[in-house]
Amino acid sequence: MYLKNSEIIVIKIGSSLLIDDKMNIRNKWLTEFSKDVKELIKQNKKVILVSSGAIALGCKKLNLTMRNLKLDKSQAIASVGQIELMNLFKKIFNKMKINFSQILLTLEDTEQRRRAINAKRTIDNLLQMSFVPIVNENDSIATSEIKYGDNDRLASRVAQISNADSLILLSDVDGLHDKNPKLFKDAKLIKEIQDIDYKIENFATKTVNIYGKGGMKTKIDAARVCQLSGCSMAIANGLYLRPIKKIIEKNNCTWFLPKVSKLDARKKWIVSSISPKGHLIIDEGAISALKKGKSLLAAGITDIKGNFNKGDHIKILDKNMKEHARGLSSFSSSEILKIKGKHSNKIQSLLGYVSKSEVVHKDDMVEI
């Protein structure tokens, strides 16, 4: 039900789904999974993948074991493995005629607002071009201080910045049970969760395999992020062939339901800035356009105050300094000084390079 109503879907693939415990690549699984992705695309859904596997594939390439790897060694192995990972997707996805790209992210890329906006823009543009972005933590440069430590949390952040409707964490269990299903045969699957309380946390048993760094606890952490981002999240068994099809047909998984709408989450994120970096003064025509839900264009800007960078939080005021909106600027203050009051088709000639036409896009703006 949740996937049917989702336009943007993030799917996280763990290392153990790509490589079995004998270090064999699971080509058949990925081939069948690619059919799931293709089917979602046919339904006009936009798909983002968050994939583990770089270090595991690097170890396979170099004939090394995963256990007890030091950070600097694992970084180098990840560098080798990233190529192997993309080659694996290329071999399978090309057969299904799925266009895809690679994005490497670190923690700071989603924690710092400006960098998060840049990552969002890249993902948005790829989706508009009908590409499937494949996101992975940049293990080759991430340090122990800034690493996510697992791709469950990374996937939740990707879902958050991409404004996704659903996140699917493909695991080795059907979902969250009231007991550890690997130890207790009478364990019951919890189908829907609205509130993550201490009981839910107690159900999250920490199970770690030789590839993954997280367990059920990291998935609960990811669910918290999704719930406050207006995104549904599922923990589902990915060991089946065609796992997404199985979720749609059987729904034998655990769904965490969002606590707020996507719009409310977006508004809270924008409005919550404590210190806007600058002000844009706009004319009556621009005010009227904003009230109709339009983006702010350069032609409607009469003045600018403050120094700020692209992606910074700004206030939008009228000539009497009354605040009408807040938003995230698509241009720096120095760029806006050059283009304010000018038609959008003049921006490229004024700046000397191709850029966006909206100074503040309607999706990055909240009326006050």
**Could you give the number of structural domains in the chain?**
2
Q: 39 with 60, same domain?
A: yes
CB 341 within 8 A of CB 292: no
For the domain that residue 358 is a member of, what is the CATH number?
Answer: 2.30.130.10
Residue 351 counted as domain residue: yes
Residue 98 counted as domain residue: yes
Domain boundary at 246, 266, 286, which? 266
Residue 201 counted as domain residue: yes
Q: 78 with 152, same domain?
A: yes
Assign 202 a pLDDT band (cuts: 50, 70, 90).
confident
In the chain the first and final C-alpha atoms are separated, in Å, by: 34
Assign 144 a pLDDT band (cuts: 50, 70, 90).
low
Domain boundary at 242, 266, 290, which? 266
Q: 202 with 326, same domain?
A: no
Assign 46 a pLDDT band (cuts: 50, 70, 90).
very high
Q: At what angle do helices 151-161 and 216-227 cross, to 10 degrees?
A: 10
Q: 197 with 277, same domain?
A: no
Higher per-residue pLDDT: 181 or 49: 49
At residue 211, the pLDDT reads 43
Assign 64 a pLDDT band (cuts: 50, 70, 90).
confident
pLDDT > 70? residue 254 = yes
At residue 263, the pLDDT reads 72
Segments forming the whole domain that contains residue 202 = 8-266
Query: What pTM was computed for the model?
Result: 0.75
Q: 217 with 125, same domain?
A: yes
pLDDT > 80? residue 1 = no
Which of 270-289 are b and which e, b meaning 16 or more Cβ less than 10 Å from the residue's Cβ? beeeeebbbbbbbbeebbeb
pLDDT > 50? residue 207 = no
- pLDDT tens-digit readout, 212-222: 455 788 888 89
**What would you report as the CA-atom Rg of the chain, rounded to the nearest whole angstrom?**
22
